[in-house]
Amino acid sequence: MADQYDLYVGIDWAAENHEICILKPDRSIIDRKTIEHSGAGVAQLSELLFKLSENQPSRVAVAIETPRGAVVETLVERQFEVYAINPKQMDRFRDRHTVAGAKDDRKDAFVLADSLRTDRHLFHRVQLDDAEVIRIRELSRTEEDIQQEQVRAGHQLRDLLRRYYPQMLNLCPGMDEPWFWDLIEIAPEPAKAQKLTRSRVERILKAHRIRRLKADEIIEALKVRPLQLAPGAVEAASEHVLLHLPKLRLLHKQKKDVAGRIESVLEAMSVPGQKGEHRDVTIILSLPGVGQSVAATMLAEASQALTRRDYHAMRSYAGAAPITRQSGKKKIVLMRKSCNPRMRNALYHWSRVSAQCDGQSKEHYAQLRAKGHSHGRALRGVADRLLAVLISMLKSNTLYDPARRSIAEAQAA
Quick one: which H or E segment has residue 314? helix 311-317
| Stated length of the chain | 413
Fold of 133-260: Helix Hairpins (1.10.287)
pLDDT at 26 > cutoff 50: yes
Rg for the chain (alpha carbons), in Å?
Answer: 28
Residue 66 in this model has a pLDDT that exceeds 90: no
d(CA 268, CA 407): 33
In this structure, which amino acid lies at residue 222?
A: L
Distance between CA atoms of residues 26 and 5, nearest Å: 11
Report the sign of the C-alpha dihedral through residues 395, 399, 402, 403, in that order: negative
Instruction: Render pLDDT for 244-293 as a digit per residue (tens, 0 to 9).
Output: 999 999 999 999 999 999 999 998 887 765 555 557 898 999 999 999 99
409: CB partners within 8 A, 6+ apart: 360
| Residue range 112-122, pLDDT digits in tens | 999 999 999 88
390-408 pLDDT per residue, tens: 999 999 988 998 888 777 6
Per-residue buried b or exposed e for 220-230, using 16+ beta carbons within 10 Å of the residue's own CB = eebeeebeeee
- pLDDT tens for 177-231 read 999 999 999 999 999 999 999 999 999 999 999 999 999 999 999 988 889 999 9
pLDDT at 404: 82
Angle 131-313-121 from CA coordinates, rounded to 5°: 95
Distance, CA of 298 to chain centre: 8
Q: What is the pLDDT of residues 337-374, one digit of tens each?
A: 888 899 999 999 999 999 999 999 999 999 999 999 99
Segments of 13-164 assigned E as strands: 17-23, 29-36, 60-64, 81-84, 124-125
Q: For residue 398, give the nearest of 310, 299, 283, 291 by alpha carbon.
A: 283
Provide the pLDDT for residue 1.
44
Q: How many CB atoms lie within 10 A of CB 408?
A: 14
CA–CA distance, 379 with 351 (Å, rounded to integer): 6
Domain ranges of the chain: 7-128, 133-260, 272-324+336-412
Name the residue among 365, 235, 360, 194 with its Cα closest to residue 288. 360
Rounded Cα gap, residues 129 and 204, in angstroms: 46
Task: Judge whether 219 and 198 are in contact, CB under 8 Å.
Answer: yes
The second-level CATH assignment, the architecture, of 7-128 is 2-Layer Sandwich (3.30)
Burial class of residue 130, CB neighbours in 10 A (0-12, 13-18, 19+): middle
Element (H, E) at 7: strand 7-12
Q: In angstroms, rounded to a whole number, what is the distance separating the alpha carbons of residues 144 and 341?
A: 12
**Maximum Cα interatomic distance, the chain, rounded to a whole number of Å:** 85
